[in-house]
Amino acid sequence: MTHLHIVGSGAIGSLLAAGAEKHKVTYTRYPRVYSPLHRNEATKRCDKPTLATFFSTPNESSIPNEATWLDGHSFPLHGAIASPTKIDADHVLIFPLKVYQLESALRQWLPFLHAKPVVVLLQNGMGGHEIARALLGDDYPLLLATTSHGALKKQRDDAQQQLVYTGLGSTTLGSIKHPNLCALADSFNTDSLLKTDHLLKTDHLLKTDSLLETGSLGKTGKLSKTERESRQLVRAYALLNKTLPPVALSNNILHALWSKLAVNAVINPLTALNNVPNIAICDESYSEQIHDICQEFVAVARACGEHFDLSEVKDKVIQVAKATGSNFSSMHQDVQYKRETEIDAINGYIVSMAKKKGISVPTNTLLVERVKALLV
């Protein structure tokens, strides 16, 4: 039985839980962090601490216990628990967290990944892959993802949190180590494919229910480690596509992540600094800033081996801003609620890569400084 384990209770993590609930996918939710005090006490009490001894009791008031779907229908969600059941190899562990939260969250799971379940990283910014690779090693079954679904958490009159699904999007998923997962998925499903991203012509969307069935991934004889891991990743993809469709499987996930970075590098800081919804940046008054941000992005991306057309990047930014309309970006919300932002993993990532390549990026550098100044 496949099982989705969701770490954290932010908007996207809670949306995944809602998708699992709606589509009858077995899932468990966990708090992002545990109490260091609990861990110290547990270490004294036992030689082999369990997840139950490591995780703190969740703060129920901060975890959405109800979701409202796009059609307005509301339904309850499982609460987060302090200890999981069992993490098997055919389970999927997903981290829909901010990049700066990832290392501490992932590190606390390391003692419990002996069966090597697939780990999925779902972040807005860049740098998560490097963090996971350093902690898990190069041979771990790892998927990277980016999503455009819209969701927010809001507080009800009874002070409980509610998840609201605000906009249908899509998720792109892929593996750096196994770039040919599309072909493997194709070989186990003959349904017609739907192209989902004009920037990634090899991306496919499959009807994946059959991939979740036991024995659906081909030969049952002895498989090589690479074959076994590839099949494990395809099953994880199928599970996520059932949970929150549509999911596109990409042969070039890094390019997809860079593409998302371009959009985030414009919309997030400009909406945060000007206290406006996403649609506002479509105004002509922002055009020069958008051009400069994107021009620097294209130069840095090219130096890192990822090639983009400047006009297409700017068009994509405006397209997303219009599509998300009155929504507020995650960085805008972080600033409004005085939370740490992801600026270092977005524009800061562009600045960091630019320094390594000897490229000047004054516009992105200034944006990083200005966003950080908002929270001083």
Identify whether residues 343 and 233 lie together within a single domain: no
- The mean pLDDT value of the chain amounts to 86
Distance between the two ends of the chain, CA-based, in angstroms?
Answer: 48
Whether residue 348 is found in the same domain as residue 260 = yes
Q: Which of 251, 268, 293 is the last residue of a domain?
A: 251
Q: Same structural domain for residues 55 and 158?
A: yes
Per-residue model confidence (pLDDT) at position 254: 96
Are residues 236 and 351 located together in one domain of the fold?
Answer: no
H or E segment and range at residue 345: none
Q: Do 93 and 226 belong together in one domain?
A: yes
Residue-wise pLDDT tens digits, 224-247: 778 888 899 999 999 999 999 999
The 10 Å CB-count burial string (b at 16+, else e) for 30-43 is bbbebeeebbeebe
Please tell me the number of Cα atoms within 13 Å of 365 on its side-chain side.
10
**Do 129 and 270 have their domain in common?**
no
Q: What percent of the chain has pLDDT over 90?
A: 68
How wide is the angle at C-alpha 108 spanned by C-alphas 107 and 112, nearest 5°? Answer: 105
Mean pLDDT in residue range 51-62: 56
pLDDT 10s digits, 168-193: 999 999 999 888 888 877 776 533 33
Residue 197 is classified by DSSP as -
Domain with 282 in it: what CATH number? 1.10.1040.10
Rounded average pLDDT over 262-272? 98
Question: What is the per-residue pLDDT for 195?
Answer: 32
Range of the domain at 305: 254-371
* DSSP assignments along 94-146, one per residue: EE---HHHHHHHHHTTGGG-TT--EEEEE-SSS-HHHHHHHHH-TTS-EEEEE
- What pLDDT band is residue 36 in, cutting at 50, 70 and 90? low
pLDDT band at 41 (very low <50, low <70, confident <90, very high): very low
> Which whole number is the average pLDDT over 153-161?
86
Q: Which of 251, 282, 307 delimits the end of a domain?
A: 251
Residues 246 and 156 in one domain: yes
* 158 burial via Cβ count (<10 Å: 0-12, 13-18, 19+): exposed
Contacts (Cβ under 8 Å, ≥6 apart) of 152 = 11, 163, 164, 166, 327, 333
pLDDT above 70: residue 17: yes
According to DSSP H, which parts of the chain are helical? 11-22, 36-45, 51-54, 99-107, 128-136, 181-187, 225-243, 253-274, 287-303, 310-324, 330-336, 347-357, 362-374
Residue 205's pLDDT is: 47
For residue 340, tell me if it sits in a domain: yes
Domain membership flag for residue 311 = yes
Decide if pLDDT at 84 tops 70: no
Same domain for 112 and 43?
A: yes
The DSSP bridge partners found for residue 363 are none
Residue 201 is predicted with a pLDDT of 34
Going by pLDDT thresholds of 50, 70 and 90, the confidence category of residue 320 is very high
Residues 85 and 10 in one domain: yes
Helical packing angle, 347-357 and 287-303, nearest 10°: 50
pLDDT at 38: 46
Task: Give how many domains the chain has, as a whole number.
Answer: 2
Best-predicted range by mean pLDDT (45-59, 90-104, 172-186, 188-202): 90-104
- pLDDT for residue 137 is more than 90: yes
Both 22 and 86 in a single domain?
yes
Distance CA 190, CA 187 (A): 7
The pLDDT, as a whole number, for residue 130 is: 96
Do residues 319 and 267 make contact, with C-beta atoms less than 8 angstroms apart?
no
Q: Is the pLDDT of residue 12 over 80?
A: yes
Based on the fold, state whether residues 275 and 159 are members of the same structural domain: no
Domain C-terminal end among 195, 221, 251: 251
Q: How many CB atoms lie within 10 A of CB 99?
A: 22
Q: Give the CATH number for residue 161.
A: 3.40.50.720
Asked whether the predicted pLDDT for residue 78 surpasses 90, the reply is yes
Query: Does residue 376 sit within a domain?
Result: no
**Could you tell me if 169 and 271 lie in one domain?**
no
Strand partners, 155: 161
